[in-house]
């Protein structure tokens, strides 16, 4: 899959974090997990995003200016 790269993974994790945190107010027992576990999963995904950035760009990449996006 040529389209799946670190940027795609990063954005997918963003969507998953949004969904989990948006639904944390609901009763998670329907899905077999409680709200505390859902928040732990969200925390792990946020940490994964940081690790992806560090592996891809190095620690300095966390604060480096991003290049401009070129339009089509």
pLDDT digits (tens, 9 = 90+) for 15-44: 888 777 777 666 666 777 777 887 788 788
67 within a domain of the structure (yes/no): no
46 within a domain of the structure (yes/no): yes
70 within a domain of the structure (yes/no): no
19 within a domain of the structure (yes/no): yes
**Whole domain around residue 33: which residue ranges?**
6-62
11 within a domain of the structure (yes/no): yes
Q: Does this model's pTM top 0.85?
A: no
Specify the 3-state DSSP secondary structure of 71: coil
**What percent of the chain is predicted at pLDDT more than 90?**
0
1 within a domain of the structure (yes/no): no
23 within a domain of the structure (yes/no): yes
The packing angle between helices 35-57 and 6-22, to 10°, is 160
The domain tally of the chain equals 1
């Amino acid at each position: 899959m040529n389209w799946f790269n670190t940027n795609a993974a990063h954005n997918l994790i963003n969507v998953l974090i949004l969904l989990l945190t948006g639904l944390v107010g609901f009763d998670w027992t329907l899905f077999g997990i409680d709200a505390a576990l859902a928040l732990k999963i969200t925390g792990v995904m946020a940490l994964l995003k940081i690790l992806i950035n560090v592996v891809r760009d190095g620690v300095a990449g966390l604060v480096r200016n991003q290049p401009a996006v070129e339009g089509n």
